[in-house]
Every structure is written in structure tokens, then in C-alpha cells.
Structure 1
Amino acid sequence: DAYKQVKLGCEALNSKVVNVPDGPRWSSNLINMTNVSPGGMIGNGDECHLLDFESLEPSVWVVSFGSATWPPFISHLPAFRQLVEDFSDVADFLLVYIDEAHPSDGWVAPPMASCSFDVRKHQNLEERLGAARKLIEHFALPPQCKLVADCMDNNANVAYGVSNERVCIVQQRKIAYLGGKGPFFYNLNDVKQWLEQSYGKR
């Protein structure tokens, strides 16, 4: 955690990410690795930046990081989905898919009773995008939540000190809330409380 580059109250880092295709099937020639100009449309597979998706003014982002092979993150998805449904009128939501915590060809975590994922360590971007799609096909999120994947250099993971899971709130491009690393310090109740204090209960 000491190596994270973001700090509470300071500027949020606009890390490079890739927009996850919204269809279950695609081929590598659909991945358009081009930068998106400010104000430009972001297409499937486009390389973009973490804060390119803001749509509200004043801008407030709830950003959650995790992967399918981190069971605590999976267990938090229903609560995260409820936050999206309750507060999408006042905040934007972004799910950032990162490097696998427990890939099937590495240190495998005990399976969850409700759902478990068999995902190998990502060898390329297409595999990471595929893992993100696999997750969302099992845990559908409201359309107001954007889905992106960290680039293969894991720059967003490193910048935000994620390791396995983390959630933060970005307000006016500054870190307004920075949760701790999971599993013990990833707390969506804190996020809900922050949103309620700022915008009222739902």
C-alpha cells in the first residue's frame, strides 16, 4: 500500500485502460489500440483513460478494481450493483478489471459456493478482455456502469495500489475517498455513506 501513487485529496491519476467490448464474441482485429481524443467517442476495445468516461457535472466517479479470481471482490458485486442503481443519477460508476488474483495456472483460491471462475493468467490483452466479459456475463451490471480493463503493464493497478481489490471516489478529478485494499478494507458501506452525505439517502 505504501507504493500506491494516488493520495487522498490529491489529483486522481488518469491511468490508461481499455474499453471492454460489449458483445460476447470478437476477434483480435477488432481491438483498435488508438488513443481517444478529448470529447471523442470511445469504442469497444479502444485504449482510453480512466477519467475519459465522465458524463456528469460536477463530476463524481466511483471506481472499483478487481478480478474474477478474487472471491471477496465477487462477493461484493451485488452491493456494488445496488450502489449503481441507487446513485447513478449523481455519480458515474466504473469497474476496472485487473490482473487475476488467483489464476488457475498459479495460486488457486478455494472456490466460492455460489460461483467460481477458472481463469488463467492473462498472456495478452484479448485474454484480459475475455475474462472481464466472462465476469459480467455472470454478474450483469446496470448499463450506467462502464467496464474497462487495465492495460497489460498493469498501470492502473500500480497507480492506485490495488493489488487485488480497491474502491475509490474521484470528485472533480481529485481523490475524495480512498478505500483500503481488500479483502479486509474494501468497504462499500463507506462509499454508500459518502454518497448519502453528499446527495441524500435513497
Structure 2
Amino acid sequence: MLELNNVEVIYSEVILAVKGVSMRISEGQCVALLGGNGAGKSTTLKAISNVIKTEDGRVTSGNIQFNGKRIDNQDAVDIVDTGIIHVMEGRRVLRHLTVEQNLIIGGHKETSLRAVRQRLDEVYSRIGRLAALKDRTSGYLSGGEQQMLVIGRAMMARPKLMLIDEPSLGLAPLMVDEVFAVLKSLKDAGVTLLVV
């Protein structure tokens, strides 16, 4: 499904961030990308989703393919359209919006209100905690609840491959268990996962 071939990433035309990264991920797998701070894990995910361009970075060598098609030269929006959804580190919720409004934004490509409602129901059934919090302002949620929200927002886009950066960072042990239970349920439902 996803293949990285000897990928090199440079920031600002001078800072070598990643060199020689190669990996293959088959459909339905859950793969962990491990390494120390500064090793290039987040940069690798950003290169796959091509949000690296927003940070003055680019893939300068090698290539990235998704379902046999090269994507390292595509816009991030087009990559989302292929089914790759990136849950970035730092629980980036839209703090002034409610939980449900955040989720609806994740499903903005749905063509009808009925389809959005169906996606919301699916997210709420998989992450019951979000159903109970749907009218709460997301900026006031705990860190674990915000992490559940960004995963739920990603689910709204019907991912084939979900890139998840540090989903347990700074969370209480019970919330870590809940987050990984949600990720397991996504894998069981056929979503391929690449987790830093």
C-alpha cells in the first residue's frame, strides 16, 4: 500500500533531516516507527502527507508511492483525497469550536448532510466518549479527550491509511489505553496505521 524508497528530506535547502528511509506497509497492517528525539520520525510522516512543504521542506531524493502511484510530488490536499490522513503531534484541535464542529470539519469532503451525519454516528459509536462531549468546546477538553477528538476527526475523512504522530505523548496511563483501544478498533475495521 505505502512504499518509501531511499527518501531524503531537506529543510530550507540546507538542513538534512532524513536520509535513506525505506519501508513498505501492506494494507491492513499497523506499523510502528520508532526512534529517539530528532531522528526524523515526524519528518517522515510529514513527507508522506506532504505537509512538509508548509515548513519549507521537501523530498530531495527517493520517492514515496501509495497504491503504486507516486505521491511525493503531489499537493497535500490531493494526498488526502487518496485516503492518507495525517494526525499530527500536539493534539491540534480547533480550540474555539465544539467537539462536533471539529468532527464535521474532518468530514468536509462528504457530499451530503446525511453522509456527514452517518460518519458522525460511526465516530460516536467507535469513540463513545466523544458522543458525551459533542457540545463541549474542544479547547476545554483534557489532553486525552483532545487526542480522541483528532483521531475522530481523521476518521471522518474515511482514511485508508492513517499516519499518527505520538498519540500517547503526555497522556495519563488510562487515557493511553483508551487511545490505543480506538486505534486497535480502526485496524480491526481495515484501516492501515503508521504510528510514531
The TM-score with structure 2 as length reference comes to 0.30
Q: Which has the higher helix share?
A: 2
Q: Which has the higher strand share?
A: 2
The TM-score with structure 1 as length reference comes to 0.29
Structure with larger Rg:
2
Relative contact order, CA 8 A, sep 6+: which one is greater? 1
